[in-house]
Structure 1
Amino acid sequence: MDELIYVIPKEMHNSCDLKKILNEHPEIRFVSLVGIDLGGNATDEKIPVKAFLEDLDDFLKNGIQTDGSSVVLHEIASLNNARVDLVPDLDVNWFIDYNYDYIEDNLPVGTLEIPSFLIHNGKRVDSRSILLKAVNNFKNKIMDILKTYPHILKNIGINDVSDIEDVVLTCATELEFWVKTPDDKADIEKLSTSQMLKEQYWKRTHGTVRTALEKTLILLDKYNLEPEMGHKEVGGVSSKISIKGKTTYVLEQLEVDWKYSNPIQAADNELIVREIVEDTFRRYGLEVTFMAKPLEGVAGNGEHTHVGVSVKLKDGKTKNLFSPLDMKKDYLSEIGYGALMGLLKNYEALNPFITSSNDAFNRLKPGFEAPVCIVASLGIDVENPTRNRSVLVGVIRDLDSPLATRFELRSPNPLSNTYLVIASMYQAMLDGILAVAKSKKSAKELEKEISKQAGDESFYLEKNRAYRSEEDVFEHFTEEERNALFSKPPATVYENILNLKKYEDKTKVLLDGDVFTEEIINSFIASSIERWETELKDRILVDNINFLRECKKVHDIEEATDLDIVRWEKINNLRQYMMKNSLDRKCLFTRLKEALDNKDYCLASSLQLEMYSKINEINKLYIEYKRNLFNI
């Protein structure tokens, strides 16, 4: 397998080099154009290499056509105007995806995956295009800001804006995921206890999990992704060994990290990493899930997203725009404070693109190291960088390495649309940087601004909000205090989507530079609501009905105590309330379904929360009920 190639760099995206490569590697049998729609879905099709080579130049320039019904572009690609073109992106790495279950001539069959743009009516309408526009907009606007307000360069150590050759944006994501042996059911109580005791966190992997993890890291290196670490995360229980020596009852949470890149490449890299992880673990008989919250009651999967901004100077040096001249005097430069303030102030408009599914909201709950408050941590003091895991945004600093300064957004999950997450982040940061530049405030003054108390006036941040905490916000504040200080977070997809209309000024930040457009945002809103509605009606309701049907009376009347009878009656009354209609009363499930059918989304959102609350109550009661019985 040493003769396999895994990456075709952008320098070789020409007909001459591609023909040579594909002729020398007949194991690459197919080509797939990978476009990312507004739902974060990646297209995949199998085009024989022979067809790809027949008119290669035209293919590279014009790509192929597809039907808009196959991608999430609501209100853009309509039934009477459904043509969408898939056009290759020639400026990023192309990866070869190998099928190790299909071997020919001792080599796996490969598919050349080409990241592409989706074009409708001559306009790019896909997630990759939005991120590309955000990158270009940030680079252009930040240079305009530096030219107009050159004073903000002083605390970075740059004498004149003319010394700058290029603006360099960097991003990285961390991928968490659960692995399990098929058909094994989770014991939530054991998982929860193990998590509380930190029994799995960063522990040594064993058996097939170890083999699959090591194989994954080796493959990532072959793809030039420069893996940095693979380890166990907080969730999981110890696996078992069968009589035949096989690893059984695997249920573990893992994390894989790799090197940063430019924003577009970083998001593309994440796609291939997910494919490698899923395929590799599956070859070892393990299922992988990237769901934000695959199991209730234990930690979900996060995908912390890191962003940074530097400039390359004409003398060859690189300066981090977020790092101050004296790392032991200031946490951040003026530009750094502006970027952080922009993220926090405008987060309500970012959140719909980050937390866009029912699954994502299931993860964002207090108690599982998932952020729910719009608040940042700078560090306990300037000389002691800290990692507060309870906040939304962390400032990552290394006193000995100013180039490492960056922001870590902790709310995304592995199924968040990373292209839109990063695009919205850079748009929000740009807004804050411009406001800070106009204010002409020093780094120390800006530190006071972001550390302000709720009720204090601010030139940019909202008066009745606080934005910084070095405490564990879940332990130090009550829910009421958190909501008052950091704003009440949305609890459903619909509540989150409403923020795009509720906070019009913040949504306008996304529109700056025509990065997001009204058409794109409306399409995203329509697709998000449709997905929320469909999943709620056809999956979550069905699952909850099945759960309630499984909650059966199991006590023997002769052995039951009064407590058993009372508990069961309470459980059964809740079951009746939730899913049993009568002549004079509609159950909760029926009212929720009717609200969705009638497009009364506000009522449906409220009933969804009530449903979750009742299901959790029944689940706890049923566990207590069975725990008190001898025979079940």
Structure 2
Amino acid sequence: MTKDSITSNVNKLLFLIEPKDHSKEQISTLLKANPQIKFVSLMGIDLGGNATDEKIPTVAFLEDLDNFLVNGVQTDGSSVVLPEIATLNNAQVDIIPDLNVNWFVDYNFSHMDADTNLPVGTLRIPSFLVHDKKRVDSRSILERSIEHFKSTLLELLKDHPYALENIGVSSFEDIEKIVFTAATELEFWVKTPDDRTSVEQLSTSQVLKEQYWKRTIGPVRTAMEQSLLFLDHYGLVAEMGHKEVGGVKAQLTGDGRFSHIMEQLEIDWKYSSAVQAADNELLSRDIIKDVFMYNNLDVTFMAKPVEGVAGSGEHTHVGVALKLKDGSRKNLFSPKDMTSDFMSPVGYGALMGILKNYEVINPFVTATNDALNRLKPGFEAPICIVSSLGYAPDVPSRNRTILIGLIRDMTNPLATRFELRSPNPTSNIYLVLASMYQSMLDGIKCALENDKTCDELLKELSKPAEAEGFYLEKGRAYRSEKDVFDDYTEEERNGLFGIPPKTVWENIQGFDSSIDKKEVLLSGGVFSEAILNSYKEAILSQWATELYNRIVPNNVNFVRKCQKVHNGEYATDLDLVNWEQINYLRYSLMKDRLNKKCLFTKLRDSIDKNDFDTASELQIEMRSKVDELKELYSLYKRNLF
């Protein structure tokens, strides 16, 4: 299979089946007309954000199509992340097709169909996971949040018509429906397999911005262009692809190939409805990974694949609009006069809801050790619960240091939206959006039920930390037009915007330490106690397992590599002092004694005892000491011949 053949037969391929074509007759017609589609897979999304994938022969699918469309297939609960829901004595989970979104055909360009000379395809059908007749999957939670938001907001708009007047709608009767839009920006790292580049080189290139928005070349350019073209075939409508800040210049070998590729890229596509946007996110990752692999390149969607260098984010955009009966649309966040107000009352309420309730959104946004490694001061990392509006309504903000920004186009009110900057490519975007919608609705309800004007809401959002608010908490500030990292000390940031969690354990405690905020998630039956407990169990199990079996062993290996390399003839007093400091850290980290355990052993013991408070504290201490050891060992070796 040549690289050119990836795109040579695309016009002969079926890429998606839209909702309008989900009748039994049309599905059968399309699949029979495309015999290269050999398999069907029902794609349910569990609480861990994992998509199920099974190979059902298309022939078998068509023979029992009526049953498949209604009842789907069954699976064992051990194959999906639903702890405490799909238990050993009640493990059956049904995977039921969703007939209201696009179905995608996933092609294997390494496997050609002998009869058609086309790549073998698998029709992937986004689906629901049903346990005990209840939908318990991530997609269902997002759908429930949308329906709850719609019904509640319509009642609020009916009872408080001033909110409609503010966006230029004269009557509640003019409304046809509420429309949700969402989109993500996907950042990722690409490299040639097995190649390594020093952190110093990557860091230097980043500071000098040698790669940012530069022209792509060689196989990276080819893979980027092919990815953008494939996204269009799947209806995602690619908007742009470009280099991000991370990476170094590739090397051209004597035979005309490129080696030592290490670059950070970003690909964006057009917004869609909320559930479709989340489905598109999963599809796009598969497309990008496959296409780059065909070009002999590795792709990682880790949030922080290289310590000390910019991580990969997945900025998430959300908007809400009214579709009116005359066919026009009105953005619910945009005021009637864009030059007089930043937002409408609905917009202010929505933004304040996210900010106030972020402690129960963050567990879905940042759920892994890798994700938390990205959220550190610097690299434009959004660690503080704070927003920016702009210095005046006619001067849109582009503050990149805040958690969530208000995006406005003065010439296009329909473009007004929020950009949450904290998600990363491993975030479960279904649950991120669902928790955002629940939080937005909480803020909107408070704003409208109190008949707050734009001026009153702007004052609330801009209040000093010590001021009492009618909705936002005393002791916290929620708006800043300053650079959060350069214009405040760490102590000032923590005092104004709250102390950010340092571990997964600290982050997941938001469900238990903020009971009133957890109630926001439970409102309308969108989430349930069982789902939150299941999610919490899944994330903590993953955190503890990775800590015990990967992070600690990796640190052990590093400590062992920190060997004494100086000799008496050339060693200086500085070398001796440096080595003593290094050796002290090595012993404290991993050397047990009869009457004293090292940090690594104490950390493992605390996990064995399920003492996660202690494990979390020791993880923070371990990270600090290992970072110190890395710095000391680098300085030590730098001074040796």
TM-score w.r.t. length of structure 2: 0.98
1:123 alignment partner AA? K
Find 1:180's aligned residue among 168, 173, 191: 191
Tell me, in whole angstroms, the C-alpha distance in 2 between the residues paired with 1:557 and 1:404: 68
Find 2:216's aligned residue among 197, 201, 205: 205
Pairing 1:300–2:311 present: yes
Aligned to 2:241, the other structure's residue is in SS state: strand
Tell me, in whole angstroms, the C-alpha distance in 2 between the residues paired with 1:423 and 1:499: 16
Counterpart of 1:73 in structure 2 is 82
2:24 alignment partner AA? S
Counterpart of 1:463 in structure 2 is 474
Counterpart of 2:73 in structure 1 is 64
Find 2:386's aligned residue among 368, 371, 375: 375
Tell me, in whole angstroms, the C-alpha distance in 2 between the residues paired with 1:282 and 1:547: 30
Counterpart of 1:553 in structure 2 is 564
Superposed CA offset, 1:16-66 (max 9, x none):
111111111111011111000001111111111111111101101100000
Contact 2:476 2:498 survives alignment (8 Å): yes
1:292 alignment partner AA? A
1:186 Cα deviation (Å)? 2.6
Residues 479-518 of structure 1: pairs in structure 2 closer than 5 A: 479-518=490-529
2:21 alignment partner AA? M
Counterpart of 1:157 in structure 2 is 168
1:103 Cα deviation (Å)? 1.3
Counterpart of 2:123 in structure 1 is 112
2:638 alignment partner AA? R
Tell me, in whole angstroms, the C-alpha distance in 1 between the residues paired with 2:635 and 2:155: 63
1:228 alignment partner AA? E
416-425 or 445-454: bigger deviation: 445-454
1:514 Cα deviation (Å)? 0.2
Superposed CA offset, 1:522-568 (max 9, x none):
11111111111101001111111111112212223311211112112
Superposed CA offset, 1:357-405 (max 9, x none):
1111000000111110000010122111121110000000000000000
Find 2:132's aligned residue among 114, 118, 121: 121
Pairing 1:594–2:605 present: yes
Tell me, in whole angstroms, the C-alpha distance in 2 between the residues paired with 1:327 and 1:3: 47
Aligned to 1:308, the other structure's residue is in SS state: strand
Contact 2:477 2:496 survives alignment (8 Å): yes
Contact 2:197 2:260 survives alignment (8 Å): no
Tell me, in whole angstroms, the C-alpha distance in 1 between the residues paired with 2:356 and 2:110: 49
Tell me, in whole angstroms, the C-alpha distance in 2 between the residues paired with 1:390 and 1:97: 38
Pairing 1:440–2:458 present: no
Find 1:431's aligned residue among 423, 439, 442: 442
Counterpart of 2:97 in structure 1 is 88
Find 1:333's aligned residue among 325, 328, 344: 344
Find 1:32's aligned residue among 2, 24, 41: 41
Pairing 1:572–2:576 present: no
Tell me, in whole angstroms, the C-alpha distance in 1 between the residues paired with 2:565 and 2:32: 67
Tell me, in whole angstroms, the C-alpha distance in 1 between the residues paired with 2:383 and 2:438: 21
Pairing 1:49–2:85 present: no
Counterpart of 2:377 in structure 1 is 366
1:449 alignment partner AA? E
Counterpart of 2:596 in structure 1 is 585
1:425 alignment partner AA? M
Counterpart of 1:357 in structure 2 is 368
Find 1:10's aligned residue among 19, 28, 31: 19
1:102 alignment partner AA? H
2:178 alignment partner AA? V
Aligned to 1:100, the other structure's residue is in SS state: strand
Pairing 1:100–2:115 present: no
1:248 Cα deviation (Å)? 0.5
Counterpart of 1:452 in structure 2 is 463
Tell me, in whole angstroms, the C-alpha distance in 2 between the residues paired with 1:156 and 1:295: 46
Aligned to 2:485, the other structure's residue is in SS state: helix
Structure 1 ranges of 4+ moved more than 6 A: none
Pairing 1:141–2:152 present: yes
Counterpart of 1:389 in structure 2 is 400
Contact 2:156 2:449 survives alignment (8 Å): no
Tell me, in whole angstroms, the C-alpha distance in 1 between the residues paired with 2:224 and 2:564: 43
1:198 alignment partner AA? K
Counterpart of 1:247 in structure 2 is 258
560-569 or 396-405: bigger deviation: 560-569
Tell me, in whole angstroms, the C-alpha distance in 2 between the residues paired with 1:379 and 1:304: 19
Find 1:167's aligned residue among 175, 178, 182: 178
1:11 Cα deviation (Å)? 1.0
Superposed CA offset, 1:553-596 (max 9, x none):
22233112111121122111101110110111100000000000
Aligned to 1:34, the other structure's residue is in SS state: strand
Aligned to 2:247, the other structure's residue is in SS state: strand
Superposed CA offset, 1:336-368 (max 9, x none):
000000000000011111111111100000011
Contact 2:355 2:385 survives alignment (8 Å): yes
TM-score w.r.t. length of structure 1: 0.99
Tell me, in whole angstroms, the C-alpha distance in 1 between the residues paired with 2:346 and 2:382: 25
1:104 Cα deviation (Å)? 2.1
1:464 Cα deviation (Å)? 1.0
Aligned to 1:162, the other structure's residue is in SS state: helix
Counterpart of 1:290 in structure 2 is 301
Tell me, in whole angstroms, the C-alpha distance in 2 between the residues paired with 1:52 and 1:569: 68
Tell me, in whole angstroms, the C-alpha distance in 2 between the residues paired with 1:122 and 1:84: 9
Aligned to 1:473, the other structure's residue is in SS state: coil
1:255 Cα deviation (Å)? 0.2
120-129 or 14-23: bigger deviation: 14-23
Find 2:282's aligned residue among 261, 271, 275: 271
1:602 alignment partner AA? D
Task: Let me know the Cα RMSD of the aligned residues.
Answer: 0.8
Superposed CA offset, 1:111-169 (max 9, x none):
00000000001100000000000111111111011011111111100111111000000
Tell me, in whole angstroms, the C-alpha distance in 1 between the residues paired with 2:625 and 2:243: 33
2:182 alignment partner AA? C
1:474 alignment partner AA? F
Counterpart of 1:221 in structure 2 is 232
Superposed CA offset, 1:605-630 (max 9, x none):
00000000011101111111111111
Tell me, in whole angstroms, the C-alpha distance in 2 between the residues paired with 1:95 and 1:547: 44
Counterpart of 1:618 in structure 2 is 629
Find 2:573's aligned residue among 558, 562, 566: 562
Counterpart of 1:519 in structure 2 is 530
Q: Return 5+ residue gaps in structure 1 as ranges.
A: none
Tell me, in whole angstroms, the C-alpha distance in 2 between the residues paired with 1:35 and 1:558: 66
Superposed CA offset, 1:191-234 (max 9, x none):
11111111111111111101100010011111111000000001
Superposed CA offset, 1:321-343 (max 9, x none):
00001101111011100000000
1:307 Cα deviation (Å)? 0.3
Q: Return 5+ residue gaps in structure 2 as ranges.
A: 1-8
Counterpart of 1:20 in structure 2 is 29
